[in-house]
Chain A
Amino acid sequence: MSMTLDRPTLDSKTPEGPLADKWDNFKANEKLVNPANKRKFKVIVVGTGLAGASAAATLAELGYQVDAFTFHDSPRRAHSIAAQGGINAAKNYRGDGDSVHRLFYDTIKGGDFRSRESNVHRLAQVSVNIIDQMVAQGVPFAREYGGMLDNRSFGGAQVSRTFYARGQTGQQLLLGAYQQLARQIGIGNVRLFNRTELVDVVNIDGRCAGIVVRDLMTGEVSSHSAHAVVLATGGYGNVFFLSTNAMACNVTAAWRAHRRGALFANPCYTQIHPTCIPQSDDFQSKLTLMSESLRNDGRVWVPTMAGDTRAPQDIPESDRDYYLERLYPSFGNLAPRDISSRAAKRAIDSGQGVGPKQNGVYLDFADAIGRLGRNVVAERYGNLFDMYERITGENPYETPMRIYPASHYTMGGLWVDYELMTTIPGLYAAGEANFSDHGANRLGASALMQGLADGYFVLPYTISNYLSQWLNKSIPDTSHPEFARVEAEARDRYHRLASIGGTRSPDYFHRELGKIIWDYCGMERTEAGLDKALSEIPALYEEFSKDLRVTGGEDGLNQTLEKAGRVEDFFELGMLMCRDALEREESCGGHFRAEHQTEDGEALRDDENFAHVSAWEWTGDATQPTLHKEPLAYEEVGFQTRSYK
């Protein structure tokens, strides 16, 4: 009996046929499990954000036994709740030329031709179902006076396809999915394990057999077996320490799966969001996003003159540089995130930054207030303006907002095939935890779309194609010795972290790691910088292993110990990110290598050598991962240079 997996292969399992027919062809040919047999299968879903809650609810509705795990006190706390601006869908309710093809094309182009064409097309196809589903569930999307759904536009698109619920679209969508999940919990179809964190994945006989978890209230480590496991555990943006992610967001679930054989794809594709409130002090714990939707009406500018310390009201039009409108006239202030972020960085690097630390650019609503009136602006963005004022003490109706880019989203993640299965049979990844749909850069309002697409409309179809083979066959349960062995490893690990007895808190090391990653693997990367990071991170990790201090013991509730485990995983991920960024000798989307840019500073792709997914295999040594490549082919749209001018 072998506990190890076969050598990973990168078969995307893309269905036959023309692009527009692939999803239908998959559904026509997949293996199904009949309704009466579904109850014989157990599926574990880890994470209860948009992807996890929608997957758990839908799988339970279909009749599968579902166990859902969240490390929060309630499924409703997942960080999907913080998404502000909206969700894209190719409804074409505006009649402005939108279509499934247009959304597909915008997503491929936005991703800088580094995503898998078949997955993206399916995403655009099911986007329309998501809006129908969420309205049926009672999501109070914004409406026009006639009662029809309202839309707005987002970066990287020339149509209005974004549905929204004030500045709290993520909250309303997550509460919708949470309520569907709650209904299934209430009628006993889903067992919920709250305040429970995944600490390892267990493989037996070449398939994922279950998971090992830690009860955060008691510290108890235990095993759970299932026919299939879905990881919907979010992204790894907190590797930067300062990010727009929630404090508990971490890579641990995905990383533990990676260490057990799941390949990790494109870790260097991270998104820096252009509109966050700039850092104000050294103890800052997170950066707060100001929704990209603000760029519909706000104008981005800096003083033309470096070091201009006049108040914004005192700077005349002639001394202002509306650089996005100047550089990208057809998209203007709605240029995609990576492009807007780098433009802001260039302005600040050249001394044109504003604010007390000169680390911001202005986002100015004076024109919009003049054109639309204060009331209309308040209706569109009131809650964001209020939040800005609470954080900065400044009133954005009267003085322009200050914004700066911050880590926001990670396009990289566990490699998955068309069916969202990782390279471990029976282990799936959904939502931000996988790599599949956004290529090297995600467009605004597409994260909510992808999370719900995966959970509501993709996984419930694809999972039966795997499960059907196990009908009436026995699978190992938690009495199998492999579960005991993995549990013991997990206990040893927490014991080790709790007993180092050094002098520094986990937060100290997280902050120091974040600085290295931000400096050398942030908005702009160079070979020399990445080399430096790859020597500094292992040195800092060495210090972590010797000087970490965790008080409170290893039994029972211990938030310091939880944090230590997550920070340790960020160290290994950080090394892989830098390795990936070093190996990818081109610039694309959120990955900008300074050595590879055009004369006017735009990203310079190398389709000849890098039109592939970089999927990394864990070798047991974090500094020596093995690279596998999935070639990317574009049948429907040829490679094009991405231009938003």
Chain B
Amino acid sequence: MSGTLKNLTLKIWRQAGPSDAGRFDTHVIDEITDEASFLEMLDILNERLVESGEDAVVFDHDCREGICGTCSLMINGQAHGPERATATCQLHMRKFSSGDTIVIEPWRASAFPIVRDLMVDRSAFDRIVESGGFITAATGGAPDANLTPIPKPVADAAMDAAQCIGCGACVAACPNGAANLFTGAKVTHLNLLPQGQAERYQRVENMVETMDDHFGGPAPTTVSVRRPARRRSRSM
């Protein structure tokens, strides 16, 4: 059931730093088992580059099981590549064929400056959460966990939203580079829960304001557009 991929042409974005010009480097790579993950294919390339005295391609990655949200590649123009709801680290080479050309780029969004090669800075997401993506509940003194029942459909819907891995693919895929899906997922998670009610309005206002600061929102003069947007969020 396993096979070997031959003659893959990788066009990889290389860029020394945030303000340097970038370029595509082309590497032809052979003998990749289709059991390998996409990132293992890049590991193999990097090991070959290092052992032949060249600089490894810089890319972010960590858990390799699709949950930490660290990996972040634009593969043939698709964020995380061709497989639906699958992070780059869970994409396997059996989705490709011998002779394929694969274009690998970083997330491209003005709020995610390129650090080097395929690595970008997604700190703007942290700033959004810091501004309101939490429930204020200092440690100690919490009431018994079963004191407030939460209907299963509500808990399930909150969990659906809470599953966001914070990878930034939504921003990369959006033509406007917007973070509404990331912000909206956190708002939905917290505002659905009884514990999140006390801060629900302030949470949304603060998070949206921070989001707009980093990802660009409506121009300051178009107040009439901005207000309804917030009101819609309140009804979540």
Chain A residues at the B interface, C-beta cutoff of 8 Å: 54, 57-58, 61, 72-77, 79, 81-82, 91, 93, 129, 131-138, 140-149, 165-166, 168, 170-172, 175, 178-180, 182-183, 185-186, 192, 194, 217, 246-248, 280-281, 283-286, 288-289, 356, 387, 390-391, 393, 456-457, 460, 503-505, 507-508, 549-552, 557, 559-560
Contacts and interface: CB of A to CB of B under 8 A. Distances in A.
Contacts of A76: 68-69, 126, 166
Given A72-B70, A142-B159, 18 more contacts: A54-B139, A58-B138, A74-B166, A76-B69, A77-B62, A77-B68, A132-B145, A133-B140, A136-B137, A149-B146, A171-B67, A246-B68, A284-B36, A549-B51, A551-B54, A552-B55, A560-B46, A560-B56
Contacts of B69: 76-77
B64 interface: yes
Contacts of A288: 64-65
20 contacts: A73-B122, A77-B68, A82-B67, A129-B142, A133-B142, A137-B137, A140-B156, A142-B159, A143-B155, A170-B67, A182-B129, A182-B134, A192-B126, A280-B33, A283-B36, A285-B64, A387-B66, A503-B51, A507-B46, A559-B58
A374 to B, nearest CB: 18
Contacts of A58: 138-139
A590 B61 CA distance: 30
B40 A172 contact: no
Contacts of A549: 50-51, 53
A182 B126 contact: yes
Given A165-B159, A285-B43, A393-B94, A135 B63 contact: no
Interface in B117-148: 119, 121-123, 125-126, 129-140, 142-146, 148
B232 to A, nearest CB: 21
A58 B51 CA distance: 46
A93 B63 contact: no
B90 A142 contact: no
A217 B119 CA distance: 11
Interface string B195-207: 1100000000000
B236 interface: no
Nearest to A61: B138
Contact of B70 (A73, A134, A460): A73
- Name B's interface SS: loop
B35 A281 contact: yes
Nearest to A280: B35
B173 to A, nearest CB: 19
Contacts of A286: 64-65
B20 to A, nearest CB: 12
Nearest to A138: B135
Contact of A138 (B43, B151, B152, B195): B195
B68 A82 contact: yes
B44 interface: yes
A281 to B, nearest CB: 5
Contacts of B133: 179, 182
Interface of B: 1-2, 33, 35-37, 39-40, 43-44, 46-47, 49-51, 53-56, 58, 60-70, 83, 86, 90-92, 94, 115-116, 119, 121-123, 125-126, 129-140, 142-146, 148-152, 155-156, 158-159, 162-163, 165-166, 189-190, 193, 195-196
B123 A194 contact: yes
Contacts of B165: 171
Interface centre among A185, A390, A549 (most CB of B within 10 A): A390
Contacts of B62: 72, 77, 79, 246-248
Contacts of B121: 73
B142 A132 contact: yes
B65 A387 contact: yes
Contacts of B149: 143, 146-148
Given A137-B137, A285-B64, A143 B152 contact: yes
A504 B115 contact: no
Nearest to A386: B85
B115 A217 contact: yes
B144 to A, nearest CB: 6
Contacts of B63: 77, 79, 81-82, 246-247
B190 A138 contact: yes
B90 A391 contact: yes
A64 to B, nearest CB: 13
A551 B43 contact: no
A512 to B, nearest CB: 13
A96 B142 CA distance: 24
B55 A505 contact: no
Contacts of B55: 551-552, 560
Given A79-B68, A248-B62, A505-B47, A285 B37 contact: yes
A115 B142 CA distance: 30
Contacts of A186: 130-132
Nearest to B165: A171
A133 B137 contact: yes
B190 to A, nearest CB: 5
Q: Which 9 A-B pairs have the closest CB atoms?
A: A147-B149, A186-B130, A179-B134, A136-B142, A136-B137, A132-B142, A140-B159, A280-B35, A135-B145
Contact of B125 (A74, A91, A146, A170): A74
A5 to B, nearest CB: 32
A179 B135 contact: yes
A560 B162 CA distance: 34
A75 B133 CA distance: 14
A149 B116 CA distance: 45
Nearest to B122: A73
Interface centre among A76, A186, A194 (most CB of B within 10 A): A186
B40 A285 contact: yes
B37 to A, nearest CB: 7
Contacts of B122: 73-74
Nearest to A455: B139
Contacts of B90: 387, 390-391
